[in-house]
Structure 1
Amino acid sequence: MWLKGVQQQCPTRSEISPCSCTLKKNGLDILCEFTDQQHISTAMGVLKRKEFVIFYLKLRHNNLRKLPGFIFLGLDIRHLTIHNSSLSTVEETSLSSIGKMLTQLDVSQNSLTTVPSSAYKSLHQLLILNMNHNKISVVHAKAFLGLDTLEILTLYENKITSIEDEAFVGLEKPTSGAFTIDSSTPTLRIHLNEHPIYVLPN
């Protein structure tokens, strides 16, 4: 959705270097590759100066071991990808400022050893969460509490050996019938190691 009265236009390459921008129908597509936290933070600072709709923010192949608090403060991000960037720590306040806008989050192929529940709890519009190819061994109780709109959760290729009781508590079934076992039973679809688990409504 466009911001009313705001004309979308990419910042120049020099303003957000080493990141790049492409203008899409629904907003900006920002790509930052082969860089580090300092350069990414600088680019985010430039983007905060105007009311951009960032439909895609793709942070790939970076040295981004920690996602610091409030790094996206002042930004409107709809789809966020942090892929293959050595990410191991997601601070509690790193995603809170975009919780009302973000619908898809991809943190695949990183070094997360646990579900960063405190950072996820504010993502009240999230539909898809991809945590494939990390190092998660235990899915702890209430790991996804607060993600009440989530429809697809993927955890392929982790090191999961234990799923605690109430690990998926708080995940509500989707309002649409997009994922069903039969024609009348909406479900949440969870993928663990190639096999989907269907969480039935109570």
Structure 2
Amino acid sequence: MNKIKFKLKTSLLNIDFEGDKSELIELTNFFSEINRIASDVDINMEELVSNVPLWKLSKELQLKKDTINQMEDLLEAESGMIVEKISFNNVNEINDNGTTVSLNFDEIKQGTKKFLQQVDVTKANYLIVHIISNVDKEYCSIIYDNIKRHLPHVDTKLIKTKKNILEKTIVECVFFGDYSDEE
């Protein structure tokens, strides 16, 4: 009989496989790779032990380990956090030098004001503003300054991620303060 059995057990996987001995090299390579992936996942799961509700955050923000560590510290000091997002349509302008991406200032001003009315900003003590966009830095600064103007009593931090998502600029605000009832 030319059959072979493989068993792979990790904390996340339990795989039994039966195959032909002529495929031994391929099967060994396959299970080695599966084992490596399972070990990596296991290590990453251990790193996720956190009091930060990661599911509320964009994947781009979740990948910023220093920011997640800062959020953990903030949640030790503050009673809660809330996450709010708004997006603005990017304006693509074609000129002799190629295409430039910009934003509509009125949309930023009105959108930011309306957006911040959805949150009880009087409860906020700290704010992380995460802007995901492929617009120039000046537009990110305009958005950030517009938010700060409405929240002069709140310590803020700006984080930028250069990325194009559906031709939009996404603003993700993570408020820390007396938000324990709203989580």
TM-score, scaled to structure 1: 0.24
If each structure's strand is expressed as a fraction of its own residues, which one has the higher value?
2
Q: Which has the higher contact order (CA 8 A, sep 6+)?
A: 2
Q: Would you tell me which structure has more helix in proportion to its own residues?
A: 2
Structure whose alpha-carbon radius of gyration is higher: 2
